[in-house]
Chains A and B, each alone.
Chain A
Amino acid sequence: MRVKTVGSRARGNLRPENADSLPKGFNMLVLEYMPDSSECVIEIWCSDSETLAPEERKGKTDLDNLCRDKATLSTHPRSPLVLGSVSMSHKVKESKLLVDKGKKTLQVNGKEVNYLKVRTLKSTKGEDLEEYIVDEG
């Protein structure tokens, strides 16, 4: 979406007009600011994954409603396939996560949740982690 901006780079607070009113559960990425900084192109993504707190789960209808916001100037063709992800991570050496790699599921709050893929990373203590991606937006 293309939206107007508020603030300025000089003050360190240039941002989309709707940044201050973004409802809980939505995540926003600014793809680019126009050369005069008056407008920018943003993408908003969300997930209804069970791994999120109930008030943070948002679906396609919620997203469609948000995108009808009056701040939206137009849609924009530039859109990455995947903006971000939600996931559960655990330490490889001392896993507390119940994972069934055959079924590609894990247990979250007593519920079985499907995951899409696994990626590895290191923590800020250098521990090897596995990150189970449950949704991509």
Chain B
Amino acid sequence: MGNKITHTVVVAEGTKADPITQWNADHTVSYPDLVPGIVPALTAGDLILLRAAIYNNPTLLTGLLRAWPLNTIQGTPEGGVLTYDGTWLKLVTAATGFPMVGGSGVSVQNLSKLEMHATVKATPNAMCIFFLFMEPYKGDFANYQGLDTRQGTGYYARSINAAASTVTDLGVQDWTVETKLRVVHYYDRSKVEFYKNGALLVTHSTNISAQPYECNCLESDEVARTVYLKYPPGLSITSAGGDE
């Protein structure tokens, strides 16, 4: 058993700090509170539900795994419509644009693991969807680690470094069923692990690109479909040093 350091992201009212500076100071990061203008796709009622989900849940502000800061959720900028029903963030996508739920500016320094978690489902559509993925910046598909479908219901674990790919065929999955996904990237680029419903599915140790990453999920590429992200915690991250 080794030591474990946990990077905890807390949504707090009225505070704003550079994540790494704050992390170095006290291992706690604060982000601005929800502001309607920051999440324009959500109605006032949806925002109230989201605030309740964050502040009324005592486990959300303590412990290890925290929700993504909500000011990073993107829906309308790429043509999607985002709503929240108290359990699911629902993103209705159109046949144009690349809407997704995601976050930017994730930077992990000298920590051994960056983990993304999301519980997702989606309406069927025999076209491309990226369920859970990391890129240095959005759209840098030459350096990518993630789970996606190319077409139909088949899906793939994909690791790309400098445009060289390792791809594992994962067969068929019914995406109308709620599915827990997790991607774990090791800072030393030794491997990336892909988990489904609490169990390891694939390990890649070739073509592992480097942190930092932007983390995103449920991106439909110019496809009309509805995708769902369970909230809380939504798309969440943890990063840790040492052994578990």
Contact = CB atoms under 8 A, between A and B. Distances in A.
Interface of A: 8-16, 19, 22-30, 33, 37, 46-47, 51-53, 56, 80, 82-90, 97, 119, 121-127, 129, 131
A32 to B, nearest CB: 10
Interface of B: 98, 128, 130, 133, 135, 138-142, 144, 150, 157, 160, 163-170, 180, 182, 190-191, 193, 195, 197-207, 216, 219, 221-222, 244
B164 A87 contact: yes
A91 B236 CA distance: 31
Contacts of B199: 9, 14-15, 30, 33, 37
Which residue, B167, B170, B191, B204, has most C-beta atoms of chain A within 10 A? B167
A84 B168 contact: yes
A121 B204 CA distance: 20
Contacts of B169: 80, 82-84
Contacts of B200: 13-16, 19, 30
Contact of B135 (A14, A47, A124): A124
3 shortest interchain CB distances as A-B pairs: A123-B141, A9-B198, A125-B139
A62 to B, nearest CB: 12
Given A9-B199, A90-B163, A121-B128, A52 B206 contact: yes
B112 to A, nearest CB: 12
